[in-house]
Amino acid sequence: MSANTPKIVYNVTEELKETFNRGLMVGRGIGIFAGAGVSVPSGIQTFRGANQMDYFDGYPPTYLSTLETLQERPETCWKFFLYLYQLVRVAEPSVTHKVIANWQNKYISRGNGSAFCLITTNFDGLLSKAGAIPHELHGNINKAKCLVCNNVYSMDALDLQNLPPKCECGQILKPNITLLNDYVSEDAYQQTMRISCAFYFCIGTSGVNNHAANFFKHIKDKKMATLIEINPRPSYLTKDMDYVIRGNAEDILPQFEYGQIN
């Protein structure tokens, strides 16, 4: 639908809830784009925004998250990657992860799982841990990959006492995540773009990332879709939304009263 001026609210209004439920009653689909803000309540800091990590070992995380720096300072980069991995290992899914998983599983239980489109740029695996089946555009930090021979290893199987870890071919490994100047496979991204949904939720993303921006640039041209942003602060995507709900997703999503957590 993509109105010229988004309607800004601070809770799920009865109007929005009725619109949402009416679409679900006729079997229309749901699309969700989950950004880094979704995992902040689980203790995973973002690289941008109010909850961003400023420095690690004297370097900004954006500097340590490039292939060039990995090649120039492999030990320092891997100290940073190991820090992130250890955060992820002990992190538990938030209310947001669980609600999203319940929504998706409700669709699956009705035999309509293909109508639920879940994309995330998070590499923490917390949506999967909550029981969801996301398209992880930026990979998963629970694995590491060789840039030369493409061997993939579980992080748990690596010697992380001696950094950087290396492949059996002798090359330095990198976490199986997308770094800031890394190549991203478009397969899952293009697949989700083809799914037609009644509602598209943009949750916890600043919209700076090209994938989020390009996804919603494409989606806003779908005249019958309702675009909903859930974010405590304005983003680069706000202007393209129909509804903007100013608040934290863990407070907002349960208000839709669909697929509640048991």
Pair (153, 239) in one structural domain: no
Summarize the confidence of residues 42-66 as an average pLDDT: 79
Nearest CA to 144 among 189, 78, 196, 188? 78
In a domain, 262, yes or no: no
In a domain, 244, yes or no: yes
Report the pLDDT value the prediction gives residue 262, as an integer from 0 to 100: 46
The rounded radius of gyration (Å) of the Cα atoms in the chain is 19
Amino acid at 1: M
Strand extents, DSSP E, the chain: 7-9, 30-34, 116-120, 135-136, 139-146, 152-154, 173-177, 199-203, 226-230, 243-245
Give dist(CA 204, CA 38) in Å, integer.
5
Report the pLDDT value the prediction gives residue 123, as an integer from 0 to 100: 94
What are the structure tokens assigned to 117, written together?
């489109």
In a domain, 253, yes or no: yes
Q: What is the CATH number of the domain that holds 31?
A: 3.40.50.1220
Q: Name the one residue in this structure whose structure tokens are 């021979």.
A: 149
**Number of helices and strands (H, E) in the chain?**
9, 10
Report the pLDDT value the prediction gives residue 186, as an integer from 0 to 100: 65
More confident residue, 179 or 52: 179
Q: Contact 260/23 with Cβ under 8 angstroms?
A: no
Pair (170, 197) in one structural domain: no
Pair (4, 49) in one structural domain: no
Nearest CA to 13 among 222, 257, 262? 257
Pair (152, 244) in one structural domain: no
Report the pLDDT value the prediction gives residue 174, as an integer from 0 to 100: 95
pLDDT at 49 over 60: no
Give dist(CA 90, CA 34) in Å, integer.
20
Confidence of residue 196 (pLDDT cuts 50, 70, 90): confident
Pair (130, 193) in one structural domain: yes
pLDDT at 135 over 60: yes
pLDDT tens digits for range 165-176: 999 999 999 999
Span of 23-32, 133-142, 185-194 with lowest mean pLDDT: 185-194
pTM for this model (two decimals): 0.89
Report the pLDDT value the prediction gives residue 182, as an integer from 0 to 100: 75
Q: Contact 163/82 with Cβ under 8 angstroms?
A: yes
pLDDT at 40 over 60: yes
pLDDT tens digits for range 225-261: 889 999 999 998 898 899 999 999 999 999 998 755 4
Which residue range is the domain that position 170 belongs to? 45-90+139-177
Confidence of residue 50 (pLDDT cuts 50, 70, 90): low
Pair (114, 79) in one structural domain: no
